[in-house]
Amino acid sequence: MYDILTLNKIAACGTDNFDSKYNVSDSAADPDAILVRSAKMHDMEFGKKLLAIGRAGAGVNNIPVDKCAEQGIVVFNTPGANANAVKELVLTALLISSRRVPDAMVWAQSLKGNGDEVGAMVEKGKSQFVGPEIAGKTLGIIGLGAIGGLVANAAVALGMNVVGFDQFLSVNAALHLDPRVKTVSDPKDVYSVSDYVTIHVPYNPQTKGTVNADVISIMKDGARLINLARGELVDTAALLPALESGKIAAYVCDFPSEEILGVKNVIALPHLGASTPEAEDNCAVMAAKELIDYIENGNIRNSVNFPNASMQASGTKIVVLHKNVPSVISKVTDVLGSAGINIENMVNASKKEYACTLIDACGDIHSDIADKLGAVENVIRVRVIG
């Protein structure tokens, strides 16, 4: 029996994937795996049994990813599972920031109590909320992954010119882009021409303050900025004077902070990007399936700290998580060879400092083989499945 700990409410269509081999609860004391949405895990101590964490969502800044890798805990996320939900909120952000919808709604409500005068007051006061159409304007997109790509194509369909930058643009993502989306190799060529800029990159130490004073200085006067990715991607200290001067006409942010709340032309949303039933279901199902495939088969798909690695095994599968350094694989195969174990198939993959080797092994596999492999220098964790 495997224990799955849920740290947030996870959609039932996701947890339903765990069959009778699993016990899913929000109180497991020593879980084999954890399912999480946005709960902060940086201060958590992880038990020795913990194999994996499934993040039902894209961002993993609530999880100590490197610490997990050191402890042989594979962290999964669900890229793309909530992309449509976020895309739809970006389109909402484009339109409401352009047409000044939030301020206009508040103003319209303020007319209550004026009886028959309301109609006339509306017609007299509405000019203060005039805002441009988005058709024919330029949308700049920083990050053309699952979300950025969908936003790009939808914006083209709405008649916008779209220019995007992605340092790590994958072939797959590029193939799915509408040919009318212009990609550039320097983000300055996005910021300098865009009437609207939207950011779709993960938050990490390298991307902190992606939109800073230098970037703002090259943006068009009156540009609108949309950040539904993570608050820290925008340098608030640089943003506030730009909002004050009108250099930035509006800032839509899904991650409000004390500094931006109540500031004129800020539209603050309460992290609603993925808050749709469809996205919650998609993320929960994808995260659960990733955990199950890893727990039962040792296959890794969509991990943020270990490489993708999958293999069908005809014999016993040995999963070795290790550092991505020379001679680990030869030492592992030496241990198996010395124990009279034949390797039928083997897959090795690496991601930055970490690697995974999956071995389909045949022979008399003694129970101490995991300990012997675990003693190899730079091996982090070993599992024998089957």
What residues make contact with ligand MLT under the rule CB under 6 A? 37-38, 57-59, 82, 273-274
Q: Which is nearer to ligand MLT, 287 or 328 (CB)?
A: 287
Active site residue 301: no
Q: How far is the CB of 197 from ligand MLT (least distance, A)?
A: 18
Measured CA to CA, the distance from residue 73 to residue 121 in angstroms comes to: 62
Residue-wise over 132-144: b if at least 16 C-beta within 10 A, else e? eebeebbbbbbbb
Q: How far is the CB of 283 from ligand MLT (least distance, A)?
A: 7
Measured CA to CA, the distance from residue 201 to residue 359 in angstroms comes to: 35
Q: Which is nearer to ligand MLT, 58 or 65 (CB)?
A: 58
Q: Which is nearer to ligand MLT, 222 or 277 (CB)?
A: 277
Measured CA to CA, the distance from residue 251 to residue 278 in angstroms comes to: 27
**Residue among 88, 271, 296, 344 flagged as catalytic:** 271
Active site residue 200: no
Active site residue 230: yes
- Provide the 3-class DSSP secondary structure of residue 12: helix
Q: Which is nearer to ligand MLT, 57 or 298 (CB)?
A: 57
**Residue among 55, 230, 322, 381 flagged as catalytic:** 230
Measured CA to CA, the distance from residue 16 to residue 24 in angstroms comes to: 9
Q: How far is the CB of 143 from ligand MLT (least distance, A)?
A: 13
**Residue among 117, 133, 244, 259 flagged as catalytic:** 259
Q: How far is the CB of 193 from ligand MLT (least distance, A)?
A: 27
Q: How far is the CB of 79 from ligand MLT (least distance, A)?
A: 9
DSSP per residue, 265-320: TEEE--S-TT-SHHHHHHHHHHHHHHHHHHHHH--B-SBSSS--B----SSEEEEE
Q: Which is nearer to ligand MLT, 205 or 270 (CB)?
A: 270
141: enclosing H helix or E strand: strand 138-142
Catalytically active residues, by annotation: 230, 259, 271
